[in-house]
Each structure stands twice: as structure tokens, then as C-alpha cells.
């Protein structure tokens, strides 16, 4: 079953259970997926769906931070609940040690030697680790490996 099919089935289940908060988040996700398909005129595969989910989670985390600073805990809690729903559609994430090991292997493969090769290594890391790890964590590991 593809990830899009699973999201659709979860939406139907949320409708039957009358779980309005979960249903709203899933509908928001489906709208983002449809928008990307229309914009790019493509059918999204699981990798692209994970990319959209990652983007939505990042937006929610930024919103949580802004709402917390503004003293709006009610809105921050709503965003946190949306993050919980969205994270169910992500594959298992790599640990910090696994990310560091992947980055070291990439550095060795590419023959990168210093901070000047940061862009080359990050480009390869984005392709290899997309959806498997947060890019901020990957970036920190790359900088440490090259530094």
C-alpha cells in the first residue's frame, strides 16, 4: 500500500470516528500533496510524499516556537498535535550515530577534505538521507566531519 493510499484510508477512519482534529490535519496534508501534484504536473511517489510531510512538520515546529514566544500556548498545543499526526507518515528516523556513520561514508566516497566541499557532500547527503533524517542533523554531522 502506498503512503498516499494509507493517508486516504486514515482520513476515512478519522471521518468514521468523528476525530475532527486528526481529520483536519490529514485534510491539510492531502491538500498540500494535491497542490504539489498540480504545480509540478506529476504523480507523487512515497519519497515525494515524505518530503511534503517533512516540510509540513518543519512549518509546524516553526509555528510552535513563534506561538510559544508570543505566549499563545493554546495555538502551540494545536500545532504540536498536528505534528504528532504528521509524524505517523514518516519512515523510521536514523539515530545520530547512524547519521554520522552515513556522513563519514559519503565523505570517504566523495573524497571530500575540508569545509570547501560542504556543498558537494550536502547535495549527496540530501539524496541519500532524504526522509530518513532531519536535514539540520545531517548538516551538523557534515560540518563536524569536514571541520
Question: Each residue of 50-59: pLDDT tens digit?
Answer: 889 989 999 9
CA distance 117 to 144: 12
**Distance between CA atoms of residues 62 and 40, nearest Å:** 26
* Cα separation, 25 vs 84, whole angstroms: 10
pLDDT for the residue 51: 87
Q: Which residues contact 129 (CB under 8 A, 6 or more apart)?
A: 94, 99, 102, 135, 138
Q: What is the pLDDT of residues 88-101, one digit of tens each?
A: 998 888 888 888 88
Q: What's the pLDDT at 80?
A: 96
**Tell me: the pLDDT tens digits for 102-133?**
888 888 888 877 788 888 888 888 888 877 88
Amino acid at each position: 500500500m502506498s503512503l498516499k493510499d494509507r493517508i486516504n484510508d486514515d482520513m476515512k477512519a478519522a471521518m468514521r470516528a468523528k476525530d475532527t482534529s486528526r481529520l483536519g490535519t490529514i485534510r491539510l496534508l492531502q491538500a498540500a500533496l494535491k497542490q504539489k501534484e498540480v504545480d509540478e504536473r506529476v504523480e507523487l511517489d512515497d519519497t515525494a510524499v515524505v518530503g511534503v510531510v517533512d516540510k509540513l512538520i518543519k512549518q509546524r515546529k516553526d509555528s510552535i516556537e513563534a506561538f510559544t514566544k508570543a505566549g499563545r500556548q493554546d495555538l502551540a498545543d494545536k500545532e504540536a498535535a498536528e505534528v504528532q499526526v504528521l509524524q505517523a507518515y514518516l519512515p523510521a528516523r536514523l539515530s545520530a550515530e547512524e547519521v554520522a556513520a552515513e556522513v563519514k561514508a559519503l565523505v570517504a566516497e566523495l573524497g571530500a577534505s575540508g569545509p570547501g566541499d560542504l556543498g558537494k557532500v550536502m547535495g549527496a547527503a540530501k539524496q541519500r538521507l532524504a526522509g530518513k533524517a532531519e536535514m539540520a542533523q545531517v548538516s551538523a554531522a557534515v560540518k563536524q566531519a569536514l571541520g
